[in-house]
Amino acid sequence: MTNLTFALPTTLLGALCFFNAPAMEPVSIAPQEAKNRLTQDQEAVDEVSVAYFQPQNMDAGRLSSLAQRLIFSAGVVGDVQGSGMFQAVTFETLGSTILVAAEADLMERVLGLLRDLDDGDTTARGDGSNDATRVTTFQYRLRFASPGVAEVALRPFMNFGARTQGFGSVPDAPTSVTIEYETGSVIVRETVPMIAEIRRVLEQIDQPEPQVRMTYYLVRGVDAETMESEGIESADLDQGLPADLVRDLGAILPVEGFQTLSFGVLQGDAMAERQVTDTLADGSQFMLGLQPTTFDRESGVLGLEQMNFEFNQQRSTGGFDMKRFRTSAQLEPGRFTVLGGVGATPVFLVLHMQRM
């Protein structure tokens, strides 16, 4: 049996009702055990109102836990006429049933909260006549965003301040927002207009991570002298390279053509860090590290805060010549981006990014 209780002194009136959507008529017998649990260590208690609630959709333990947190934060249980005494609510889970003990005039509000949570009210729509003041319950199950991201995004709605009109307004009291990390659910108990704003924020952040396909080319510019000294034929140049890349590089470099030293395709989340290493045919090695920081969903532009490139070129006499550079770049979808070149016979790193 799980006992979830928060209570401070007040005067309670007693009745017992069974609630199973819809509620049954109250009867005049109150379980003494429930009364004892609620009134323990209280001075001015006569009788308590007790009700049984049978959830239809949610687990009884989870439902009672959510209700407890929302009641505490939403002000359903509040200071009684500034006396410093708080109305009391006690939840106990009895198998698949919740036993609720509360002050008589508070009971219907508590049962209404349980019913809303159990029904999974995710629309928060009304007829418009009293939406500005009507408080209801809204549940949102995160599909892509993490609970931590949701908590940060909803933080402005949990602050104090004067309520203003429009999107992003801050309530004049703490908005009741509960985030269940274990289930990835956000539960809000608020007015319909405020819920609409919170829902809009959640829908904006709860988007699938954009996917990109990134192709890298490590190419070497070959001039006439190199072709002659290394016995490279014209037919060996530009093999496997896109015609657009050959044309654009050839327009700015005084070379006869290009050799492909390494080639690869990286596919996945746009914001994922990537690192590639490869050993070339002559024993040279290179390392490529990409650290994205921004991705514009509308334009598809990927911002690289840092790109690290190391090239350990094998010497003909043995050993390596290490060459490295670091830069930042904005990768536009569908275009080739030359990130840099190293060496007397230039070796260029080129990236091509495409949104999936």
Between 33 and 336, the higher pLDDT residue: 336
Measured CA to CA in angstroms, residue 133 lies from 47, 142, 193, 206, 252 at distances of 32, 27, 9, 27, 67
What is the pTM (predicted TM-score) of this model?
0.51
* Section 284-309 average pLDDT: 90
Q: Give pLDDT tens digits for 263-273.
A: 899 999 998 89
CB 102 within 8 A of CB 76: no
Query: At 331, which helix (H) or strand (E)?
Result: strand 320-331
Q: Give pLDDT tens digits for 40-61.
A: 544 444 457 888 888 888 888 8
Q: Is 338 exposed, middle or buried (0-12, 13-18, 19+ CB in 10 A)?
A: middle
Q: Check if CATH label 3.40.50.720 holds for domain 133-160+173-206.
A: no
Q: In the chain, where does DSSP find H-type helix?
A: 32-39, 60-74, 104-119, 147-154, 192-205, 224-230, 243-252
Compute the distance between CA of residue 236 and CA of residue 233 in angstroms, rounded to an integer.
5
48-74+87-119 against 133-160+173-206: fold identical: yes
pLDDT of 225 above 90: no
Between 253 and 267, the higher pLDDT residue: 267
Compute the distance between CA of residue 135 and CA of residue 116 in angstroms, rounded to an integer.
11
Q: Give pLDDT tens digits for 130-171.
A: 666 777 788 899 998 888 888 888 888 875 333 333 333 333
The contacts of residue 316 (CB under 8 Å, 6+ apart) are none
Could you tell me the pLDDT band of residue 122, with boundaries at 50, 70 and 90?
very low
**Protein fold of 48-74+87-119:** Ribosomal Protein S8; Chain: A, domain 1 (3.30.1370)
Task: Spell out the domain ranges in the chain.
Answer: 48-74+87-119, 133-160+173-206, 211-355
What pLDDT was estimated at residue 230? 84
Q: Is 298 exposed, middle or buried (0-12, 13-18, 19+ CB in 10 A)?
A: exposed
Give Rg (Cα) of the chain. 33
Lowest mean pLDDT among 32-36, 193-197, 290-294: 32-36
Give percent of the chain above pLDDT 90.
Answer: 13
HEC string of 238-303? CCCCCHHHHHHHHHHCCCCEEEEEEEEEEEEECCCCEEEEEECCCCCEEEEEEEEEEECCCCCCEE
pLDDT of 181 above 70: yes
